[in-house]
């Protein structure tokens, strides 16, 4: 009896997989090749935008770290804390963006004091 049920489950699972494969193939073949090309190009554009956002965050992080080193050399303790906090925020956004795949879905940065040296 147990073997009979497992065979039926196996057959049912196989049929389900075949049905989903056929549905996907029909949907794929019904779409226009131009439409598929447009969709593929849009996906490439979105992927490139995410890459650019990540690069911008990484560049901002490097810039803030460089500025922090300069402040440490000049021993400006009050500004060091603000920059350290800003760097931590950027790292958190960068980590969130990498995990989610998009820098725009990361939390927005808080306002911080920027100093010009």
> Mind listing the pLDDT tens digit for each residue in 26-69?
888 887 888 889 989 999 999 999 999 999 999 999 999 998 88
Residue 17 in any domain: the answer is no
- The Cα 77–Cα 34 span in angstroms is 60
Residue 23 in any domain: the answer is no
Binned at pLDDT 50, 70 and 90, residue 21 comes out as very high
Helices (H), ranges, 31-76: 33-74
Contact 60, 16 (CB under 8 A): no
Percent of the chain with pLDDT over 70: 85
The domain total for the chain is 1
Distance set, CA 17 to CA 4, 6, 30 (Å) = 20, 16, 20
Residue 45 in any domain: the answer is no
Domain span at 66: 50-117
Neighbours of 17 (CB within 10 A): 10
Binned at pLDDT 50, 70 and 90, residue 115 comes out as very low
Dihedral of the alpha carbons of 42, 44, 50, 52, in degrees to the nearest 10: -110
């Amino acid at each position: 009896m147990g073997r009979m049920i497992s065979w039926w489950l196996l057959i049912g699972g196989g049929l389900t997989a075949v049905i989903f494969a056929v549905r996907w193939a029909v949907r794929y073949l019904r779409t226009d090749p131009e439409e598929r090309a447009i969709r593929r190009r849009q996906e490439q554009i979105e992927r490139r935008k995410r890459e650019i956002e990540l690069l911008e965050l990484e560049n901002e992080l490097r810039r803030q770290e460089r500025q922090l080193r300069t402040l440490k050399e000049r021993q400006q303790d009050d500004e060091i804390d603000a920059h350290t906090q800003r760097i931590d925020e950027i790292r958190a956004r960068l980590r969130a963006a990498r995990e989610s795949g998009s820098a725009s879905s990361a939390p927005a940065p808080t306002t911080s004091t920027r100093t010009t040296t």
